[in-house]
Chain A
């Protein structure tokens, strides 16, 4: 397989098949799922052919009618996003967001390693529908195997006439250029992704404009879509809008991939029915995660990637439906569920996330650059037993500089805690700053007693004593 010597390293494990409909993972059972031969033998590039039989406008309408919600985190409908391109402004570009790095998120890498042609076909359909004249497939730098799989798939698809000049002997022509990053979480934010693709430091751009569809790459209209979102397109084109909207609910049709990690019996990546599957189905059913490890009790879980406010057992019956999860204080985000059982040291767990976001701050906005580091330092001394009760207030104070007002959190009826709905207000350009505060706020709101236990006995320590006590 490799051209520079050596034999390939096995691809990613993690996917668990179950009996729900399989839209994007249908080929995952084949060992050669990433090859053009297998892709063509299993209906591959049929969606593209169907698209090319229609006008671009018809394809755009179809995708809009399918209510394909973006799978990257924000959940914005792809068809609506496409419609934001200003009329008459050319050229337009497609940038594929394959920079998956939200803590807990593990699906785009599987799609790129196991079914790269499906992604390529999705890119082609998008380019045809919206008149995008060049596509840049941006893969996270730290994913060497995904880069190899996609490079090979692109080479094969170019040779077979699926990409490049006069695709399938039509007047539709587009290049797909493989591009890759070099390690920066914030580049997953779409305007930072564009900055990075222009050869700059990957810092998010000021908003407005809110969507790069109006001003994006080189100042031109640019569509930025997530890998999983685009991977849905071939199926929608091949099977039709009704088949797609027939799965899941009206506002959240189709399926979505979720990764469940942490303290469950069977961690894994699952393709689940959107809108109807509940967190309880996912975490406790025999077909999926099979319950909490060692028959322990569930303490808390992160429902939508490291940035999402936490849930507890009280929210298990919520379905994967944004309109229900939002009012309960969190978000579905990137489909990443991280599970903590009763043995978990909650402040320490929160620290692993806050440390991540503090580290990944790009430095553009002061509240995030300074606040993230402060939050990490204060929380670290609390976790180590060096903090004081005043530190717990300080955490909130610093957090409120990044996110003024009530920060969203889940309800715990038994403790008399009511939910504050998502989203939050923020003083930063992007969500990295608020994300450093989210785990702390959730942990402090839901499990304050664990923090108080860590600072107990330190009431009389002065700030100077705390500051010089560096371990």
Chain B
């Protein structure tokens, strides 16, 4: 069964064309699949396998290695609360306890209305602003329990700009056709690029 929408299928072809080997597009395509429905389905992995010329098992192998790929439905908003050292020193444990109380689920769980999933997370590169969390991989800094409540209120309203889970960058890379050098399989390149002239660098 086909998974990708027509628009995303076109996009998948563009993404694949940027790599010397199609398999390199595997992670971007898994993200694209997750963007389409919020998680990575078996159908999506089967179609990605076809697109990059491998088997579904290989795609599952890659997919299952990475934390961000969800192989089951998660909340519209995935809230990752950092628990690594800097955040732990600044009150991450209390924040997680508060979050679990407020949403009525344990870390890893999703609220009954399908809105929120909370997860314990590892260092998010915002250590000076501890404790921090991410909503769908967008940071919130120095989060107090009160502030956690207002983040939940904000996300429950329509007045916010956090896209649904699965959408990462809201800006895509466009390469104008007349400027694209193009990706060549490594075996098809035998000589130095033109600007290296006499290979004098070596």
Contact = CB atoms under 8 A, between A and B. Distances in A.
Residues of B contacting A: mostly: loop
B124 A142 contact: yes
B52 A199 contact: yes
Contacts of B1: none
Nearest to B30: A182
A199 B24 contact: yes
Given A131-B201, A263-B89, A338-B86, A101 B128 contact: no
Contacts of A148: 169-171
Contacts of B167: 4
Given A2-B171, A131-B195, A154-B173, A140 B31 contact: no
Given A90-B189, A151-B172, A175-B183, A128 B195 contact: yes
Interface in A205-262: 218-220, 259-262
Given A101-B122, A104-B123, A202-B65, A4 B170 contact: yes
A219 B186 contact: yes
A6 interface: yes
A131 B193 contact: yes
Contact of A198 (B23, B124, B127): B23
Contacts of B137: 141-144
A159 B125 contact: no
Interface in B155-190: 161-163, 167-176, 178-184, 186, 189-190
Nearest to A360: B122
A217 to B, nearest CB: 8
Given A165-B179, A349-B85, A6 B134 contact: no
B31 A199 contact: no
B181 A158 contact: no
Contacts of A355: 83
A201 B200 CA distance: 37
Given A154-B173, A155-B173, A261-B130, A144 B179 contact: no
Interface string A260-280: 111100011100000000000
Contacts of B65: 184, 201-202, 362
Given A180-B27, A183-B68, A306-B84, A171 B124 contact: no
Interface core residue of B125, B174, B179 (most chain A CB under 10 Å) = B125
A174 B196 contact: no
B179 A158 contact: yes
Interface string A122-162: 00000011110110000011111101100110110011010
A90 B125 CA distance: 36
B52 A104 contact: no
B168 A147 contact: yes
Contacts of B23: 198-200
B18 A13 contact: no
B89 A199 contact: no
Contacts of B89: 261-263, 338, 340, 344, 349
A175 B18 contact: yes
A197 interface: yes
Contacts of A201: 61-62, 65
**What is the size category of the interface that chain A forms with chain B?**
35 or more
B128 A269 contact: yes
Contact of B134 (A142, A181, A199): A142
Contacts of A5: 163, 170
A55 B171 contact: no
A427 to B, nearest CB: 23
B127 A261 contact: yes
A451 to B, nearest CB: 18
Contacts of A219: 186
Given A8-B161, A151-B172, A108 B85 contact: no
A356 interface: yes
Given A164-B181, A198-B21, A87 B199 contact: yes
A400 interface: no
Contact of A9 (B138, B175, B186): B138
B181 A182 contact: no
Nearest to A201: B65
A165 B186 contact: no
A7 B52 CA distance: 34
A163 interface: yes
A226 B22 CA distance: 25
A174 B122 contact: no
A144 B138 contact: yes
Nearest to B89: A262
A49 interface: no
Contacts of B193: 90-91, 131, 133, 173
Contacts of A12: 126, 129, 139
A353 to B, nearest CB: 5
B28 interface: yes
A182 B63 CA distance: 9
B129 A56 contact: no
**Interface-central residue, B20, B21, B169, by most chain A CB under 10 Å:** B169
A185 B186 CA distance: 28
Interface in A70-116: 85, 87-88, 90-91, 100-106, 108-109
A6 to B, nearest CB: 4
5 contacts: A103-B85, A106-B127, A108-B125, A141-B68, A165-B178
Interface of A: 1-9, 12-14, 55-57, 60, 85, 87-88, 90-91, 100-106, 108-109, 128-131, 133-134, 140-145, 147-148, 151-152, 154-155, 158-159, 161, 163-165, 170-175, 177-185, 196-202, 218-220, 259-263, 267-269, 302, 306, 336, 338, 340, 344, 348-349, 352-353, 355-356, 359-360, 362
Given A144-B169, A199-B26, A202-B65, 5 more contacts: A90-B189, A104-B86, A131-B196, A177-B18, A362-B65
List 9 tightest A-B contacts by C-beta distance, closest first.
Answer: A164-B179, A87-B202, A183-B67, A199-B26, A182-B66, A147-B169, A261-B127, A261-B86, A199-B23
